Amino acid sequence: MKRVLLTLVSLLALLVGVLVVGALRVPAPAPAASAGTAVTIDSVRAVERLAKAVRLQTISYGSGQPIDTAAFLGFHALVASEFPRAHAALTREVVGGLSLLYTWRGQDTTKAPVVLMGHMDVVPVPEANLAEWSQAPFSGAVAEGYVWGRGTLDDKTTVLSTLEAVEGLIAAGYTPPRTVYLTFGHDEEVGGLYGAKAIVDTLVARGVRPAMVIDEGGFMASGLLPGLAGRSAIVGIAEKGYVSLKLTAIAKGGHSSMPTERTAVGALARAVARLEATPFDDRLDGPTRAMLEALAPYLPFSRRLVLGNLGLTAPLMTRMLRSSPLGGALLHTTISPTMLNAGVKDNVLPPEATAVVNFRILPGETVANVIAHVTAAVADTLVRIEPLDRVQVDPSPVSDVHSEAYRLIEATIRAMSPGVALPVVPYLVPGGTDAKHWSAHSDRVFRFLPVPLGDGDQARIHGVNERISVADYASAVGFFTGLLRGIDRLP
């Protein structure tokens, strides 16, 4: 008995020892930047230019409703008139119908260029939500220290703050050491199949192999993990894949007074329920594991015991993450039934019932894996499973955090908060961005906009009361200015 107890105590001591050693081996936080990048901008004028862009209703409709071409042409005209130096110094091409490709020729055109991406289009505002907006969604109102409206977070801020940076640098006499491409898509919100894809194809056909691509996707997050005080910069190094599957249950229709043994609605409901009961495996690897490891130095010792020992504590960490929707999205391929359709009359058995289920695919899995998983989970000959449309995207490759491009982004972010030990960590973007169109051609693709998004702010994206503070907008301009000034450091 005594020996058993002794063995148990020794094992426990050993475990504690291992955990403590793991926690102690977590490296120190990266040093804070000593000096910031000083950028002076006329934020009143800059904000007015952003507001003008917001007023243009460059809406992408998922429903196939035609876009307002004039609004996009208005955006093109706004860029030309509000950023005259950039418009004159850079070469403009319209690609894919309405997307913009600006080329800023560098001093050394033999060096690998840099690509700064953004998109002009926005999602619609549902009529039902209009009353909830404090300022009309396309007013571009400047009030209470914010610019309000659709696109202020996603993604006109990226486009306009990039242009502000370029305009300011040209005014200061700067010529980039290497060529810089500004690419602004017009259909990101519906997959970027005509805009960003066409631009990428155009550049690749010209032999462009970028040293760095940067697009939206990451941001300044707060309260990322319990025990983590203040903000963290999360830099997207990969994005999840995307597919929507249509499930069609087919049965005999007929009079509801004499139902067949299996009905289309019953079969479809069962299929959806089975699918939800068969989640994809959780995997604490790739970008999400890299994120936790990079956060560990900034956490108190008690948390480092967990994050410094992921080899042992992964199951615990997985359970913790799974308890929130974002945490779950970082761990597995998600299953979201989004549309249901069946029946025309209460006393008629429909011969067909359909559901659409949207999947966001974790790196390491593919569209083909998803279809196989769904087919096995549903396992019903009455239910046909097929992709909804041609938007079928495998997860992006994972970009290299040891690359000079990542280091430049990291250093630029730190320089925005001199004296602050700011966590800058890799991140798996759970949504999709136009950057995915570079997947097949570059592993130097990063996703970040230095805008702080607290809890409530994330719901503003595609939601109600989208807005950006004037100060945050000015700091976004500072970020792109600093980034462009640093591109001589890239290989």
Chain residues that interact with Zn ion, rule: CB under 5 A: 154-155
Task: Specify burial of residue 240 (Cβ count, 10 A radius: 0-12, 13-18, 19+).
Answer: buried
Residue with smaller CB distance to Zn ion, 154 or 394 = 154
Do the beta carbons of residue 57 and residue 138 sit within 8 Å? yes
Q: In what order do the strands lie in the sheet with 146-148?
A: 142-143, 146-148, 467-469
Minimal distance, residue 22 CB to Zn ion, in Å: 38
Question: Does the active-site annotation cover 188?
Answer: yes
Q: Catalytic pick from 154, 155, 164, 188?
A: 188
**Residue 164 is a catalytic residue:** no
Tokens of 143: 């009030």
Task: Report in angstroms the alpha-carbon separations of 209 from 110, 206, 404, 414, 455.
Answer: 11, 9, 15, 27, 37
In the chain, the amino acid numbered 333 is T
Query: Which one, 155 or 410, has the nearer CB to Zn ion?
Result: 155
Q: Which of 82, 121, 164, 167 is catalytic?
A: 121
Q: Residue type for 31, please?
A: P
Q: How far is the CB of 59 from Zn ion (least distance, A)?
A: 13
Q: How far apart are CA 433 and CA 195, in angstroms?
A: 12
- Give, in order, the Cα–Cα distances in Å from 438 to each of 115, 395, 447: 10, 12, 12
Q: How far is the CB of 57 from Zn ion (least distance, A)?
A: 16
CB proximity list for 412: less than 8 A, separation 6 or greater: 37, 479, 482, 483, 486
Smallest gap from residue 141 Cβ to Zn ion (A): 21
- Closest separation between CB of residue 67 and Zn ion, Å? 16
Least separation in angstroms between CB 463 and Zn ion: 13
What is the set of active-site residues? 121, 188
